[in-house]
Amino acid sequence: MPSENITPRVNDLLLENRDNRRRNGNALSTKTITYSISILVVILIMAIPIAYTLSEIVMYAYRNNETASKYIGIIINSINVRALHAPKKAEDVENSLNEDSFTTNTNPESDYLSHHYQPPSAKCNKRIVGYYTDWEPRKISAKQLQKLTHLIFTNVPMNSSGHVFFENLAQRRRFLEINRKAQLMNVKVMFSIGGHKNAEHYSTVVADSTKRSVFIDSIVSFIKSNNASGVDLFWEWPNISEMNDFITTIKELRKKLAALTKAQPKGTRYLLSIIVPSSPSDLEYYLRMDGLLHYVDFLNVLTYGYYAPWSGVNGKFVGPNAPLYGGNRENVDETMQYLICKTRTPSKLNMALSFYGRYWENVNDNVPDEMFKEADLINGKAQGMFVAWKNLAGRGWDKSEALWHEETQIPYIWNSEERKFFVFENERSLQAKMDYAADHNIGGVYIWALGADDNNDTLLNVVSSADLCEGGSGNTLISLCG
Ligand SMILES: *[C@@H]1O[C@H](CO)[C@@H](O)[C@H](O)[C@H]1NC(C)=O
Ligand SMILES: *[C@@H]1O[C@H](CO)[C@@H](O)[C@H](O)[C@H]1NC(C)=O
Ligand SMILES: *[C@@H]1O[C@H](CO)[C@@H](O)[C@H](O)[C@H]1NC(C)=O
Ligand SMILES: *[C@@H]1O[C@H](CO)[C@@H](O)[C@H](O)[C@H]1NC(C)=O
Ligand SMILES: *[C@@H]1O[C@H](CO)[C@@H](O)[C@H](O)[C@H]1NC(C)=O
């Protein structure tokens, strides 16, 4: 037999082993097992502090050394999402719901899986969009997520060659953590590029066809590797001469996203949104861009910042951040009416809701209207600040003292002794805005920003519980367009 000739020693060894095992019986195998387990335990016990120390060293380098950070960042960004976050089990999500001290129900798991907690506006595909600013210390909770249809994570940077990337490991972790929870609750998570940090690169990137392709490909691969639902282009603002390049970018990006959709088994549509200003004279340039609304899923209309303590001479005019009606400048109603009638596509509009207030100092009380006052400028600048809703009391503003301005539908506090005037949004003013959005069949609202709410989600509750479907759905034009 050839096999015997070739492998006699192996066969012998195998037989010998078997015989040994037989002879020594179970005693030896028990001993072996005990021995192996002990070694394993020792290894495990030693591995934990070693792994911890190593990861601390790596994280220290990541945070404190630019060179190390770059290389670690590349490694982090190339690790597949699935390897980092295996699909989460339902009980884990239930635990995280419990962590958020979920009190209103007894069986969160089955309830949220049947989308019981989606906001009523979701019934007719209207949107409750929350911007999550990753510099806020507060983590997003499951209780907040269930009150949204979309979350936009801000801000993901880009560089001057058009590459889009996470700023650091912490940012990516946060994004993935939110996305993982959100997907189980049917909330779509997008990421926003630009904003106050990085919008300066848009101008050069969109103008150069090579950089533009890098930008678009980079967005697509970012979506794929982070399992995102889409992207929000947060460019405040392209000027008139940059508009054409911007629309070209949007069109090319939509083409690539459509190809990506085709490649998916489920054919999920990837979302694309942009931020647009509130003034009709600026909006006109966006609407001139042929087919803009065909390429984007929605426009986030920045319907606040109508009055603010700016540094220029305009900063002296005191008024609401977001007056629904009234005033001597534009207001939310004017912006939205303009867009609804001009586009005849209210379903693609998101009206902004600000969870911030603003105050002016050195305010004069010599104007007849209680709301629209004037402030003295110091060295040509208005003095004043933003205050997040959650910080009102901490900054000395007692919201129970607020008066209501009927015309603008805005609460305010006038401290005539200190000459400080404070305007903000509260439950009542946000309810008025939600009623307006419903009455005008507007496709959705966006919140700037979730982190400004208090820990009881007081403002988000008002927004989320309102039913935008009450005013209809689709593009039925409720408001009168001449
Ligand atoms: C940063 O790390 C690199 C190695 O990754 C090292 O060569 C360099 O000296 C470090 N720089 C500082 C400032 O610690
Ligand atoms: C932008 O990022 C990419 C990828 O990290 C890099 O290759 C490129 O050199 C960067 N460009 C600039 C101008 O920093
Ligand atoms: C994310 O990944 C999961 C599981 O792989 C998949 O079912 C889901 O559709 C993905 N979502 C997006 C937005 O790509
Ligand atoms: C638009 O912005 C670009 C880049 O900042 C600038 O070069 C150009 O002159 C601007 N065009 C107009 C019309 O303001
Ligand atoms: C949150 O709600 C609790 C219970 O109603 C209340 O005691 C607490 O003051 C609220 N906190 C805030 C920040 O509104």
For the segment 128-160, what is each residue's pLDDT rounded down to a tens digit?
Answer: 999 999 888 888 988 999 999 999 999 999 999
- 240 exposure class (CB count in 10 Å sphere: 0-12, 13-18, 19+): exposed
Spatial distance between the Cα atoms of 128 and 350, rounded to a whole number of angstroms: 9
CATH assignment of the domain containing 236:
3.20.20.80
Please indicate whether residue 419 or residue 81 has the higher confidence score (pLDDT).
419
**Is there a domain that residue 92 lies in?**
no
Q: Which one, of 90, 263, 256, lies nearest residue 183 by Cα?
A: 90
pLDDT digits (tens, 9 = 90+) for 305-314: 999 999 888 9
Ligand 5 pocket, residue 454 CB under 6 Å: yes
CA of 158 to the centre of ligand 1 (A): 24
pLDDT digits (tens, 9 = 90+) for 316-325: 999 999 999 9
**Is there a domain that residue 231 lies in?**
yes
Nearest CA to ligand 3 atom 2: 227
Ligand nearest to the CA of 217: 2
Is there a contact between 311 and 327 (Cβ–Cβ < 8 Å)? Answer: no
**Is there a domain that residue 188 lies in?**
yes
**Is there a domain that residue 334 lies in?**
yes
For residue 331, give the 3-state DSSP assignment. coil
Nearest CA to ligand 5 atom 1: 456
Out of 80, 150, 227, mutate this one to test ligand 3's pocket (max ligand atoms within 8 Å of CB): namely: 227
If one counts the domains in the chain, the total is: 1
Neighbour order of strands in the sheet with 403-405 = 384-388, 356-360, 420-423, 410-415, 403-405
CA of 211 to the centre of ligand 4 (A): 18
Out of 398, 456, 459, 460, mutate this one to test ligand 5's pocket (max ligand atoms within 8 Å of CB): namely: 456
DSSP states of 27-57: HHHHHHHHHHHHHHHHHHHHHHHHHHHHHHH
The DSSP call for residue 363 is E
- Tokens describing residue 349: 């509009």
Is there a contact between 414 and 370 (Cβ–Cβ < 8 Å)? Answer: yes
Torsion sign (Cα): 328, 333, 334, 336? positive
pLDDT for res 34: 87
Ligand nearest to the CA of 227: 3
Nearest CA to ligand 4 atom 5: 203
CA of 60 to the centre of ligand 1 (A): 11
pLDDT at 20 exceeding the cut of 70: no
Closest ligand 1 atom to residue 68 Cα is 5
Nearest CA to ligand 1 atom 14: 65
Distances (CA, A) of 283 to 127, 196, 321: 22, 20, 19
**Is there a domain that residue 192 lies in?**
yes
Using N-to-C axis directions, what is the helix angle for 243-263 and 280-288, rounded to 10°? 60
- Residue 104 binned pLDDT confidence (cut-offs 50, 70, 90): very low
Nearest CA to ligand 3 atom 8: 227
Closest ligand 2 atom to residue 74 Cα is 5
- 332 exposure class (CB count in 10 Å sphere: 0-12, 13-18, 19+): buried
Q: Which one, of 252, 293, 248, 261, lies nearest residue 274 by Cα?
A: 293
pLDDT for res 79: 57
**Is there a domain that residue 254 lies in?**
yes
Ligand 3 contacts (CB < 6 A) are 183, 227, 229, 268
Please indicate whether residue 207 or residue 9 has the higher confidence score (pLDDT).
207
Is there a contact between 305 and 320 (Cβ–Cβ < 8 Å)? Answer: no
Residue range 42-47: mean pLDDT, rounded: 88
Spatial distance between the Cα atoms of 151 and 407, rounded to a whole number of angstroms: 32
Query: Model pTM greater than 0.85?
Result: no
pLDDT for res 93: 39
- Residue 62 binned pLDDT confidence (cut-offs 50, 70, 90): low
pLDDT digits (tens, 9 = 90+) for 442-476: 999 999 999 999 999 999 999 999 999 999 999 98
The answer, yes or no, to whether the previous bond of 155 is cis (omega within 30 of 0) is yes
Residue range 383-399: mean pLDDT, rounded: 96
pLDDT for res 70: 62
Closest ligand 3 atom to residue 82 Cα is 5
**Is there a domain that residue 167 lies in?**
yes
CA of 319 to the centre of ligand 5 (A): 29
For the chain, count helices (H), then strands (E): 17, 15
Spatial distance between the Cα atoms of 152 and 126, rounded to a whole number of angstroms: 16
Half-sphere exposure of 303 (CA within 13 A, CB side): 29
Spatial distance between the Cα atoms of 435 and 236, rounded to a whole number of angstroms: 28
* Least confident window among 93-97, 423-427, 478-482: 93-97
Residue range 271-278: mean pLDDT, rounded: 98
pLDDT for res 266: 83
Out of 204, 241, 245, 282, mutate this one to test ligand 4's pocket (max ligand atoms within 8 Å of CB): namely: 241
Q: Which domain holds residue 340?
A: 115-355+425-480
Ligand 5 pocket, residue 456 CB under 6 Å: yes
pLDDT digits (tens, 9 = 90+) for 231-265: 999 999 999 999 999 999 999 999 999 999 998 88
pLDDT for res 108: 45
- Residue 196 binned pLDDT confidence (cut-offs 50, 70, 90): confident
Spatial distance between the Cα atoms of 237 and 245, rounded to a whole number of angstroms: 13
Ligand 1 contacts (CB < 6 A) are 65, 67-68
* Least confident window among 93-102, 277-286, 388-397: 93-102
Residue range 222-236: mean pLDDT, rounded: 96
Residue range 430-445: mean pLDDT, rounded: 97
Ligand 5 pocket, residue 64 CB under 6 Å: no
pLDDT at 218 exceeding the cut of 90: yes
